[in-house]
Structure 1
Amino acid sequence: MKKHKSIIIFLIKFFVTYFLLVTIYNTYLQRSQEKEGTYKTASITTLVADQTVKVLTFFDYNVEAVQHDKEVSVKLIIEGKYTARVIEGCNSISLIILFISFIIAFSGSLKATFFYSLFGSLLIYTINVLRIAFLTVMIYKYPENQEFLHGLVFPAIIYGTIFMLWVVWVNKFSKFKK
C-alpha cells in the first residue's frame, strides 16, 4: 500500500477535482441552456462562436454566428453559407476541466498550480477559438475533407496542446518533477 500511495493520492485528487468541476459546469449548463421550444446555447458557447466570428472577420471573411433554431448550437455562416456549428462540446470547457484536474492532481506550489492552471486554461481556450475559426474556413473551402479535418486534424491540435502543457507542468512545476 505504501508503495502505491502517490498513485492513490493522484487518483483521489484528480477524480475529486474532476467531478467537482464537472458538477459545477453541468449545473451552469442546466441553468443557461434551453432545449425545449426556443433553443439557446450556454453563454460560454455563444461567446466562443462570437469570438470565432471576430477572428474570421479580422481575416476579411464575411461571417456571422446565428443561434440554431432546431438544436442547442450556434451556426457559423461564412460568405452566406452555413458551414459549421458550435455546440457545447466545442467551447473547450470540458477540456479545461480535464486539464485543471490533472494539474491539481500533480500539484506544485499553490501559486504555481493556480497560475499555471489559469495560463493553461486561457491558452487552451484561445487555441480552441483559433482552431474553430481555421476549421470553419477549411470546411468552407474543402467541404469534401470535413470528416478528416473535424475528426482527426483539429482534435490533434487541441489534445496535442493539452498534452504539451501537461508535460511541461510535470517536468517543470509539479512536486513530482525530476
Structure 2
Amino acid sequence: MLKDFKPVLGILLRFIIIYMVLLFGYQFYLNNFQDSGLDPYSRMIVGHVGIVQDALGFPTNFYDDVPNQQIFFYINKEVVSRMVEGCNAISVIILFTAFIFAFYKGAKTFVFVGLSLILLYVMNVLRIVGLNIIISDYPDYSKTAHDYFFPAVIYGSVVILWLVWIKFFALKNENS
C-alpha cells in the first residue's frame, strides 16, 4: 500500500527538506545583521521602492531606525509606512522555491525559479510602492490595502506561478 504513495511521499519529503534548509539558511543570514538594523536584502528593497516612488512623483526620504530594525518611508516629509524584515517577502519566496524544487525537472527548474524570483521581487517592490501611495493619498483605505489587497497581490502571484509550473512543466510528459 505504501508503494502507491511513494511518488507523493517523495515530493512531500523533498518539499519539507528544501523548505527547512532554506528557512534555517535565511535565519542564519538574519542573525548576522541583528546589531546593524535591517538586513541588506530588505535595504535593497527600500532603495528600489524609493527610486520607483521618486519616478512616480512621490519624493521619498528614509529614516533608518537601527535599534528597532526598521526603516521609515517619508513622502512629502510625512511618515507613510515602515519597512521591517517581514515586508521583504522572503518567507513567501522560500515557500515558493521549496514547492517548485519539490517537483524538480532538471535545469529548467533553476531557470523557472530564477525568473520567478525576479518577478516576485518586482511585484513586492510595486506592492510596497502601491501601499505607500495609498497611505499617502488615500489614508482611509490603508488598512484594507495593507491587510487584504496587497497580500493578495503577492500571494496571488505565487499561486499563479505555481500553477504555471505544474501545468506547463512539472506534469508535462517529457516524451510528448
TM-score for both structures, normalised by structure 2: 0.93
Partners of 2:165 and 2:47 lie apart in 1 by 31
Unaligned stretches of 5+ residues in structure 2: none
**Paired residue for 2:164, among 138, 160, 168?**
168
Alpha carbons 1:127, 1:158 under 8 Å: kept: yes
Q: Confirm or deny: 8 A CA contact 2:61 2:74 kept in the other structure.
A: yes
1:80 is aligned to 77
Tell me the distance in 2 between the aligned counterparts of 1:60 and 1:98: 34
Deviations 1:54-99 (A, max 9, x none): 0001112111122125511111111111011111111122211111
Q: Aligned residue pairs: how many? A: 172
* 4+ residue runs over 6 A deviation: none
Please tell me whether residue 143 in structure 1 is matched to residue 144 in structure 2.
no
RMSD: 1.3
Q: Is residue 122 of structure 2 the alignment partner of residue 121 of structure 1? A: no
**Structure 1 position 33, deviation (Å):** 2.8
SS at match of 1:82: strand
Structure 1 stretch displaced more, 45-54 or 140-149: 140-149
Q: Where do 1:82-101 residues align within 5 Å? A: 82-101=79-98
**Aligned ranges for residues 1-178 of structure 1 at < 5 Å?**
1-34=2-35, 40-69=37-66, 71-108=68-105, 110-174=106-170, 176-177=171-172
Q: Any gaps of 5 or more consecutive residues in structure 1?
A: none
Query: d(CA) in 2 for partners of 1:41 and 1:33?
Result: 8
